[in-house]
Amino acid sequence: MRRMRRWIKQLAGLTARRRREADLALELESHIEMHTDENIRRGMPPADARRQAIVMLGGMNR
């Protein structure tokens, strides 16, 4: 019975972690889009605007 509880807790923790990671990814993408749009309004081509937005937020590795 203890093993079953431990396994359920581990599974729940994994699910919660994935949800947090997905939420963070959505938030980062939202900020990238916002900065990209601003860069486009300032006259940058879309590809350069997105690249600059990513650099401004510290790159994709973070």
What's the half-sphere exposure (Cβ side, CA atoms, 13 Å) at 37? Answer: 6
Q: Given this model, what pLDDT does residue 9 score?
A: 81
Residue 59 has pLDDT above 80, yes or no: no
The identity of residue 53, as a single letter, is A
Q: What is the pLDDT of residue 31?
A: 96
Q: Where are the chain's structural domains? A: 24-62
Place of tokens 């919660």: 16
Report whether pLDDT(61) > 70: no
Q: How confident is the model over 12-56, as pLDDT tens digits?
A: 888 888 899 999 999 999 999 999 999 999 999 999 999 999 999
Dist. CA 31–CA 50, nearest whole Å: 11
pTM strictly above 0.75: no
